[in-house]
Amino acid sequence: SQQEAQLTDEILSLLKQKDACLVAHYYTDPILQALAEKSGGCVADSLEMARFGSQHPASTLLVAGVRFMGETAKILSPEKRVLMPTLEATCSLDLGCPVDEFSAFCDQYPDHEVVVYANTSAAVKARADWVVTSSIALRVVEHLADQGKKIIWAPDKHLGDYVRQKTGAEMLLWDGACIVHEEFKAKGLQELKKVYPEAAILVHPESPDTVVEMADVVGSTSQLIRAAATLPNRMFIVATDRGIFYKMQQAAPGKVLIEAPTGGTGATCRSCAHCPWMAMNGLENLRDVLLRGDQEIQVSTNLIERARLPLQRMLDFPV
Ligand code: 13P
Ligand code: SF4
């Protein structure tokens, strides 16, 4: 619409004026993803967002995504100002892993290596030996298992279970889940696959094991986009947040992308294939934060120092 076009222009000039770089996740509104691309920022998975932000020369990073992504950017670039359209955009995995309980759990198993998913608070990261995202989790755990290490994994139990099965590592799992991916249903997927037998099934590993078992490809958001672009299939059933369709369709033009079925429908389901916290990012609050600078990520120096080590280990891990 005309209003959207106006806001977009306003944001583009504010980004320049404030020496700010826009980094957006694949699950945000396609309007924001297009804007990030147009402005010379990036649209990426959580690992690439962290990398890109830490290497970009801008003095302000504007992170469109959820809070842990903003915190990660701040931890990796403490000298930069990190803003988000709203600091209220959190994640059910982060909420489900309070640092005191988690720390007490870790204290019971001092001989275990602590591996946490990026979808956690800065304080939880500070308690960890390793931080991983879904695109690098398997490789890091494989490496630890090769060294005979026992592992505490938090917070996503589905991803943890998948990694444990794939690597055979000895892992204790925290009981957390993503409210979006947990909604995907194997039964509905089987029915859809009967209708479209030629479709390949792409699944994010935060989904339940019964859904993961049906996948042709299991991977992070960027790995799923690559799969849609490179597999010979003309049709894909995709079990992850529907925000991904914007970049996936660009990467796989002419291919047919279908949403995997979820348990609920319409207004009765607050998390059906779209993350309610990612959805809090919009053009208006993005413009407002550039004008006011009020939604700034703050992480204490102490936490930054401690959380940086396991994060840096992930970024330095050979790919
Ligand atoms: P990716 O690391 O695959 O981008 O996932 C982040 C996330 O929040 C998934 O729900
Ligand atoms: Fe968290 Fe799930 Fe939303 Fe990703 S999609 S931010 S894991 S609640």
Going from the Cα of 2 to the center of ligand 1, the distance in angstroms, rounded, reads 32
Inform me whether the pLDDT recorded for 211 exceeds 80. Answer: yes
pLDDT at 264 over 80: no
Q: Are residues 80 and 7 in the same domain?
A: yes
Ligand 2 centroid to residue 66 C-alpha, Å: 8
d(CA 83, CA 161): 34
Of all atoms in ligand 2, which is nearest to the CA of residue 241?
5
Identify the domain boundary among 144, 177, 210. 177
Q: Measuring from atom 8 of ligand 1, which residue has the nearest CA?
A: 119
**What six digits make up the tokens of 42?**
């990036």
pLDDT at residue 269 tops 90: no
212-221, pLDDT tens digit by residue?
Answer: 999 999 999 9
| Domain CATH code at residue 27 | 3.40.50.10800
Answer whether residue 273 is part of any domain: no
Do 84 and 127 belong to one domain?
Answer: no
**Residue 236 bridge partners (DSSP):** 200, 257
- What's the pLDDT at 280? 98
Check residue 270 and give its pLDDT.
56
Q: Does ligand 2 have an atom closer than 6 angstroms to the CB of 280?
A: no
- Flag whether 72 is in a domain: yes
How much is the average pLDDT of 46-55?
92
Q: Cα separation of 292 and 284, whole Å? A: 12
Q: How far apart are CA 86 and CA 305, in angstroms?
A: 25
The tens digit of pLDDT for each residue in 125-148 reads 999 999 999 999 999 999 999 999
Whether 205 and 133 map to the same domain: the answer is: no
Residue 304 domain-assigned?
no
Tell me, what's the ipTM? 0.97
The total number of structural domains that make up the chain: 3
Over the stretch 161-171, which tens digit does the pLDDT of each residue have?
Answer: 999 999 999 99
Residue 201 burial by Cβ neighbours in a 10 Å radius (0-12, 13-18, 19+): buried
Among residues 128, 161, 177, which one ends one of the domains? 177
Per-residue model confidence as pLDDT tens digits over 288-316: 999 999 999 999 999 999 999 999 999 99
**10 and 85, same domain (yes or no):** yes
CA distance 50 to 118: 10
Cα 106 from Cα 126, distance rounded (Å): 12
- Gap between the Cα atoms of 291 and 300, Å rounded: 25
Ligand 1 site-directed mutation target among 25, 240, 248, most atoms within 8 Å of CB = 25
The whole-number pLDDT of residue 271 equals: 58
Would you tell me how many other CB atoms lie within 10 Å of the CB of residue 122? 24
Strands 130-132 vs 112-117: parallel, antiparallel or unpaired: parallel
Check whether 273 has a pLDDT greater than 70.
Answer: yes
Residue type at 167? T
The tokens for 291 are 């004008």
Q: Are residues 164 and 193 in the same domain?
A: no
Domain match, 52 and 105 both: no
**Residue 100 in tokens:** 């005191």
Report yes or no on 39 lying in a domain: yes
Tell me, yes or no, whether 169 and 130 share the same domain: yes
Using 50, 70 and 90 to split pLDDT, how confident is the model at 52?
very high
Q: pLDDT for 230-254, tens place per residue?
A: 999 999 999 999 999 999 999 999 9
Does the residue 308 lie in any domain?
Answer: no
pLDDT the model gives residue 75: 96
193 lies in some domain: yes
The answer to whether residue 309 sits within a structural domain is no
Which one of 155, 177, 199 terminates a domain?
Answer: 177
What is the 25 CA–ligand 2 centroid distance (Å)? Answer: 11
Mean pLDDT of the chain: 96
Cα–Cα distance measured from residue 122 to residue 118, given in angstroms and rounded to the nearest whole number: 9
Angle between helices 46-55 and 301-316 (to 10 degrees): 110
CA of 297 to the centre of ligand 1 (A): 20
Kindly indicate the confidence band of residue 268, based on its pLDDT and cuts at 50, 70 and 90. low
Q: How far is CA 279 from the centre of its chain?
A: 13
Q: Which amino acid is at 84?
A: M
Is 48 within the bounds of a domain? yes
Q: What is the pLDDT of residue 267?
A: 56
- 179 in contact with ligand 2, CB cutoff 6 A: yes
Ligand 1 atom index nearest CA of 241 = 10
Q: What is the rounded CA–CA span in Å between residue 269 and residue 96?
A: 20
- Domain extent at residue 284: 2-89+278-299
Are 43 and 118 in the same domain?
no
Nearest atom, ligand 1, residue 180 CA: 10
